[in-house]
Amino acid sequence: MCFLGFFVIIFVLSPFIGQMTDLIFAERELVQSLKEYIEAEELKLEAVKSWADKLDLLTRASTSDPEGFLAHPVNAYKLMKRLNTEWSELESLVLQDPSDGFISNMSVHRQYFPDEEDEKGAAKALLRLQDTYKLDSESFSKGKLPGVRYNAELTVDDCFDMGKLAYNENDYYHSVLWMQQALRQMDSGEDAKTLKADILDYLSYSVYQMGDLPRAIELTRRLVAIDPSHQRAGTNLRYFERLLSKELRDLGRSQQEPADERPIQLDTYERPKDYLPEREVYEALCRGEGVKMTPKRLSRLFCRYQDGNRNPRLLLKPMKEEDEWDSPHIVRFLEALSDEEIEKIKELAKPNLARATVRDPNTGVLTVAHYRVSKSAWLEGEDDPVIARVNQRIEDVTGLSVNTAELLQVANYGVGGQYEPHYDFSRKDEPDAFKSLGTGNRVATFLNYMSDVEAGGATVFPDFGAAIWPRKGTAVFWYNLFKSGEGDYRTRHAACPVLVGSKWVSNKWIHERGQEFRRPCVMFLYSTEFITQTFINVRLQQP
């Protein structure tokens, strides 16, 4: 009995012990997996804590002075990138072990987050600033901008993303500049998620597209050296080498010159031409270069008190007026707006700010355009007594009726905000531009500057080389039409991109209707004089 029992026990336990042995090893694997899970969870919590600590410091600085913080274009770009990309990555990380509170907050605030187009727009703004103000990628990456109050730097990954955005737009010129900067920072020892092979891949092909075969070959060889299995790199290298050999044969040379080892700079490759014929003149004026203010012209500029032809509202306190340019005549009014009025106008405009529009010359319909990057709102005199007062002041100092003028337009130009060269008046090939308004063409422009701008943001006139810089509380005024009603094509102007700061303006476009006796047409004057003289002559001939 006992033997049988022992045998039975052994028989029964043998297969069970065998299974238990497997389970022991399985448990060992579970323990190891548990440790890996704990480690991953700890890393996740450390990452979340690090992110929270970093954002805690950042938001303390940003919320203490929001406009000043966003005045730095890199801060504005990185805010777009964080909210569109990085917060989503953090959300995915937290979702691995869902946190209802965090997800609830994300759901509430997500509707206000920028989207991919916003992030792309912010990146393009940096490229626009880089071109206009001739800033190399390192200056941007290290935050070396004039007038900045907050330090902001771009990482390797940021620079790579900038280059990749340009690459995807077939903008190989900027792709080269930013991929080169990403590579430079990585070579200096900066950590990054981006692989060096990816940077070299984009950089080598972009350099090839810029026509620099020797450098493209050298960069592709570096790529092959760190990743021999990179199939596209090997194919590209053979293709580049064949192209270079053919070029050398065509030139009757047997040996290629070594690739240029100097770092790629802004002037290494020629920036491609675009649709704007006066691009170079316009951007030079934005930098304060090429302004055609001569001593002779300066001697013709004066300042005066403007009482609006003894307007009762200006008799006791006339407006201070300065000449900014002699021909066409552009004046600046000082103390045109008080700080209180500026704040009220901004307060009224902010809830209604939307992407600024331009009037389609063919249809007369307002539409957005890539060459105007700002947000604007339109305010009526009935919206607030301040708006009515500002409208009346414009009428008093200009002597023109604002009854037929367009509403007061308030615009905010943030990071890279601009309005490329344009005319305010409609040309002969745009007969229907203001047809729906029924008030004729835009005879004059009155532009209020409602903020100072740390760097950039000038109003420039490429035709005659003038640059007018924003000064808070002042306003500039010029006529768009000659007295004959013909457009003054010299008044083609632009709002330069804001490099550092936030630019607030409000403008009033004054139309022809209602000005018949305030600014009479020259031809009308001639006709009246002719009729009067004829009448006198007829009277003299009578017996």
What CA–CA distance (Å, rounded) separates 84 from 74?
15
Question: Does 18 or 266 have the greater pLDDT score?
Answer: 266
**Span 124-140, average pLDDT:** 92
19-28, 87-96, 110-119, 435-444: least confident range: 19-28
2-11, 79-88, 479-488: least confident range: 2-11
15-19, 346-350, 381-385: least confident range: 15-19
**Span 19-40, average pLDDT:** 62
Give the whole-number percent of the chain exceeding pLDDT 90: 57
Question: Does 13 or 52 have the greater pLDDT score?
Answer: 52
In this prediction, residue 477 carries a pLDDT of 98
- The candidate with the shortest Cα–Cα distance to 159, out of 191, 182, 137, is 182
**Span 367-377, average pLDDT:** 65
Question: In whole angstroms, how far apart are CA 201 and each of 99, 225, 264, 450?
Answer: 39, 12, 16, 47
Q: Label residue 505 by pLDDT band (50, 70, 90).
A: very high
Q: Is the pLDDT of residue 98 over 80?
A: no
In this prediction, residue 393 carries a pLDDT of 98
Q: Listing from the earlier edge strand, what are the strands of the sheet with 418-422? A: 372-373, 418-422, 493-495, 459-461, 466-468
What CA–CA distance (Å, rounded) separates 210 from 173?
7
In this prediction, residue 177 carries a pLDDT of 97
Q: Is the pLDDT of residue 12 over 90?
A: no
**Span 516-539, average pLDDT:** 58
**Span 65-69, average pLDDT:** 87
Q: Is the pLDDT of residue 117 over 80?
A: yes
Q: Is the pLDDT of residue 535 over 50?
A: no
Q: Is the pLDDT of residue 66 over 60?
A: yes
**Span 27-34, average pLDDT:** 64
In this prediction, residue 409 carries a pLDDT of 96
Q: Label residue 18 by pLDDT band (50, 70, 90).
A: very low
**Span 488-500, average pLDDT:** 95
Q: Is the pLDDT of residue 206 over 70?
A: yes
In this prediction, residue 355 carries a pLDDT of 62
pTM: 0.79
In this prediction, residue 542 carries a pLDDT of 41
- The candidate with the shortest Cα–Cα distance to 91, out of 77, 110, 119, 76, is 110
Output the six-digit token pair for 42.
């700890």
Are the beta carbons of 269 and 173 closer than 8 angstroms? yes
286-290, 297-301, 420-424, 538-542: least confident range: 538-542
Q: Is 446 helix (H, G, I), strand (E, B) or coil?
A: strand
What CA–CA distance (Å, rounded) separates 297 from 186?
52
Could you please report the per-residue DSSP string of 265-278? -TTTSPPPP-S-TT
The tens digit of pLDDT for each residue in 461-471 reads 999 999 999 99
Question: In whole angstroms, how far apart are CA 448 and each of 76, 366, 452, 497?
Answer: 25, 22, 11, 17
DSSP code at position 85: I
- Report, in this order, helix, strand and coil percent for the chain, each rounded to 5: 50, 15, 35
Q: Label residue 11 by pLDDT band (50, 70, 90).
A: very low
Residue type, 345: I
In this prediction, residue 530 carries a pLDDT of 41
The tens digit of pLDDT for each residue in 207-228 reads 999 999 999 999 999 999 999 9
Are the beta carbons of 115 and 84 closer than 8 angstroms? yes
Question: Does 118 or 31 have the greater pLDDT score?
Answer: 118
The tens digit of pLDDT for each residue in 299-313 reads 999 999 999 999 999
In this prediction, residue 502 carries a pLDDT of 86
Question: Does 199 or 152 have the greater pLDDT score?
Answer: 199
In this prediction, residue 55 carries a pLDDT of 87
In this prediction, residue 501 carries a pLDDT of 85
In this prediction, residue 71 carries a pLDDT of 87
Question: Does 273 or 539 have the greater pLDDT score?
Answer: 273
In this prediction, residue 294 carries a pLDDT of 92
Are the beta carbons of 136 and 265 closer than 8 angstroms? yes
Question: Does 48 or 202 have the greater pLDDT score?
Answer: 202
